[in-house]
């Protein structure tokens, strides 16, 4: 069971979203709750890393599962609480993708903080997903622009 789940539609192919997800160093561009993220190896299951939150807390993490161009799951520890984040996408059309982020809260003290964490994570994940959408759509439009310009130039020449 997920404690938090947010989702939205992104007007971008899955490949653009995957490029953003799999480049952990760019995480602060869309996840404003982190100031720095780094993996200690390739973007694959088992790789460890760390994110430094914008409040200065260091959050160790590990990639648990990676399905290229589809999903990834990671665990993180924050104080005495374990968080498990699931990032999934589903192509709806060539230019639209459903993106779903969910989180589970566990650990010895999770029952004490679960209500507060749900509220904080819902807000943070909703903001992050909105930022991810804006970045993916901006990049998808930038990639498509030269092709549109080329097609329009061809139409004017004919």
* Residues whose CB falls within 8 Å of the CB of residue 100, separated by 6 or more in sequence, listed in order: 5, 6, 7, 86, 87, 88, 89, 90
Of 95, 99, 90, nearest to 140 (Cα)? 95
pLDDT for 138-157, tens place per residue? 999 997 655 545 544 444 45
3-state secondary structure of 104: strand
Residue 55's CATH number:
3.30.530.20
Domain count, the chain: 1
80 or 119, higher pLDDT: 119
Confidence at residue 155, expressed as pLDDT on a 0 to 100 scale? 46
Helix ranges (H only) for 4-109 are 14-21, 27-30
How many CB atoms sit inside 10 A of residue 141's CB?
Answer: 13
Domain housing 119: 4-157
pLDDT for 84-124, tens place per residue? 999 999 999 999 999 999 999 998 878 888 888 999 999 99
pLDDT for 16-68, tens place per residue? 999 999 999 999 999 999 999 999 999 999 999 999 999 999 999 999 999 99
| pTM of the full structure | 0.86
């Amino acid at each position: 069971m997920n404690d938090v789940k947010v989702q939205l539609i992104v007007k971008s192919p899955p490949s653009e979203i995957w490029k953003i997800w799999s480049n952990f160093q760019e995480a602060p561009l869309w996840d404003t709750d982190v100031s720095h993220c780094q993996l200690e190896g390739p973007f694959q299951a088992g790789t460890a890393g760390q994110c430094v939150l914008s409040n200065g807390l260091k959050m160790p993490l590990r990639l648990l599962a990676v399905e290229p161009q589809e999903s990834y799951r990671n665990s993180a520890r924050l104080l005495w609480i374990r968080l498990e984040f699931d990032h999934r996408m589903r192509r709806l059309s060539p230019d639209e993708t459903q993106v779903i982020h969910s989180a589970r809260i566990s650990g010895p003290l999770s029952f004490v903080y679960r209500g507060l964490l749900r509220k904080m994570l819902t807000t943070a994940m909703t903001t992050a997903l909105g930022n991810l959408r804006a970045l993916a759509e901006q990049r998808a439009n930038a990639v498509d622009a030269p092709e549109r310009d080329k097609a329009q130039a061809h139409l004017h020449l004919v």
